[in-house]
Amino acid sequence: MKNCLLVVTLTLLSAMSWAQCTPGSPGTNCSGPLSVQPQTGNNTQSAITLIDLGLPALAPAAGQYTLSVASGMLVESDNGNNYHSLVGPQGPQGATGPTGAQGTTGATGAVGSQGAAGPIGPAGATGATGQTGATGTTGSTGAIGPAGATGQTGATGTTGAVGPQGAVGPIGPAGATGPGGQTGATGTAGAVGPQGAVGPIGPAGATGAIGQTGATGTAGAIGPQGAVGPIGPAGATGQTGATGQTGTTGPQGATGALEP
């Protein structure tokens, strides 16, 4: 804490009497109420200025309300309590103002003089030989040329003589026919069941109901079928005649010459 001296700007004290303030220990004691009234013609705002003297602050005391300066800011002690800052917490960041108008483009500067040409650098080292490129793909096979003309067909050779036909072998004797089997006896026919009675005819009313149909009599049972007689044995097959001899094949005709 630093002590401060209460200084009232003289230009603003036209309404304050010197009899209100007397020297005290420490500082100056003034009786209240204290008013600050600018003089006629004054061109500055009324104010009470505290000068930082770099001295220790007055000790807080009960019943006193002290205004002072500490660490470059106003502080206050109320009724013997510790000094506290009169500056509130920092307010929130204000909204960003609108962007100013684009300034005019400055004039283009003069083109500087061209510098002297630099010396030619040494020739670079010869690069390594590149790898051999990949072998190209094989070209497609060419189209097959047209077929040559077909030569004339040679003359047909003479047909060889037909050999003599072999003799026909004798036909074997026919086998004996077996006797036919006996026909089975026919079963007896079953008795016919009695016919059902015919239902009465309904009276002729206005769209009367149709009378019920009489029940159909049951059909008589069918008699059993007679047994089938046995099949007679098959006759013996006659012998196959001998195959005639094959005639000799005639000579093959000469091959025809190809046309050149």
Statement: residue 96 has pLDDT above 60: yes
Structure tokens at 92: 């929130």
pLDDT digits (tens, 9 = 90+) for 152-206: 776 776 776 777 877 877 876 876 776 766 775 776 766 766 876 866 876 765 7
Of 30-39, 116-125, 211-220, give the lowest mean pLDDT range. Answer: 211-220
Q: Are 45 and 39 in contact (CB under 8 A)?
A: no
Dist. CA 120–CA 56, nearest whole Å: 78
Structure tokens at 106: 């400055």
Query: How is the chain split into domains, by residue range?
Result: 3-85
Q: Are 72 and 85 in contact (CB under 8 A)?
A: no
pLDDT band at 51 (very low <50, low <70, confident <90, very high): confident
Name 76's bridge partners. Answer: 67, 84
pLDDT digits (tens, 9 = 90+) for 101-119: 898 888 888 888 888 888 8
Dist. CA 151–CA 198, nearest whole Å: 98
